[in-house]
Structure 1
Amino acid sequence: MDTPEALTHPALAGAAHGFLGRRGGVSQGLHAGLNVSYSEDDPAHTAENRRRAGEAVLPVARLLTCYQIHSPDVVTVTAPWDDADRPKADALVTNQRGLLLGVLTADCAPVLFHDPHAGVIGAAHAGWKGAIGGVTDRTIEAMEALGANRAQIAAVVGPCIAQKSYEVDAGFEARFTAEDADNARFFKAGRAGHGWFDLEGYVAARLAAFGVGSVGMLGEDTYSQAERFYSFRRSTHAGEAGYGRQISLIGLR
């Protein structure tokens, strides 16, 4: 049996964490591997994949995820819930041990947070809508409400679609430059009416601008690594009927 691949970053060394891909799971076909989404896959496969993901990062903890809606909304977790009752939001924070916070992605940027001094963690799903909408800002504020200090928070952006793989139209770019003209630096010119967007760089810069003490990036492109990661855009370009999702996890030891 393959073992799930859990990528880590030294900035988060004080917390149990891992950015997982598609290796080490039981799903078949289009979703082959460690697909953790219930939306298209066999529920039994998804449940087993989630179990394996949790075991790979913090075996004794209860894995919790949200019903993600590309929002800036954050849930402060005080007690576990059943998967069927997961709240609609795109980020989670907690200061409770025994809980493993997870976000699902398939090109969007997963961001994991830890304040080792306050014992507070967070996880955010930052697609372009959530990123420009402030999901990382709101996550930091929710952590502060639990006693964290943003200057002591480490945040790491995990595997997501890279600029070289993320072509967008002029209207997309205009949304970002209307918000802040300086956002033009996250776009590289392409064919007429199009450009290439650096989602990872944008999210990292937003974290730094909001005062996070340490910001890291894994620099892993989900689109170009079909054997390691699921990718919505790659599956769309291939005309496939569906796509899987990977998970990024963090918990207090």
Structure 2
Amino acid sequence: MKTLVIANGKGGVGKTTDAAHIGFHAADRGLKTLVVDLDTGNLSKTMRHHRLEISASTLFVDEPPHVPSFDQTLSLLHADRLMANVIYMDLERACANFRVNLDLFARQGVDLCVIDTPANIGIATITALRCADAVISPVEMEDYSIEGIKDMIRVIAGAKQQNSRLQFLGLVANRVDRRNPRHLRHLQEVQAAHSKLMAPVVVGLRTSVAEALAAGEPVWKSRKTTARAAGAEMRALGEHVLGVMGVAK
């Protein structure tokens, strides 16, 4: 099983949107996919039709949870209130438990695990990074998000010191409004400043994406004409992740 973390210390940059679509895409490709919501629950709402009766907080407990066999191509570990207790855990203990408990799902034949993280660099995010194979970081083309790029890169570099296999799949220019001159200017600036760190995908700001996720489905299943471009972008993001991580059916 390969594990991907979606991380950024800023909120509202589209982490959950990317996590959901990467999960949907992997499942469409025939990969047994597990998505984990370590955030506030938006991913859990989107993927409610794929929910297992196991919460995300169980990945942090000392006693391994019972993981029954399951055959779904796409499954969710939902966010729960007990996640709030993770901030009080010792980091080393959290990492040790997380590795052991996540391995229970690998034994069930899961090919890819996609983890959505909170909008802060706390115990949950650091634990996920230390236990993952890869990380990708969405960035919105707004000043507050761009200013946080260097901080996020430092966090990832720190995680790699503890987890040598962690691979950075790039910064994803997310929620880009191509009708907004400021967004286009910021996109050019970010691409120029961080050319070697950018993922080869630009995800536009489109209402069809939010509407599809509210319905619990990927945007490429929407019948709206405006969803076609969004679907192509999200598929491209999924292909980038699967290709670089070497996950294939």
- Scaled by the length of structure 1, the TM-score of the pair is 0.34
Instruction: Choose between structure 1 and 2: higher helix proportion.
Output: 2
TM, length-normalised to structure 2: 0.34
Structure with more of its chain in strand, by fraction: 1
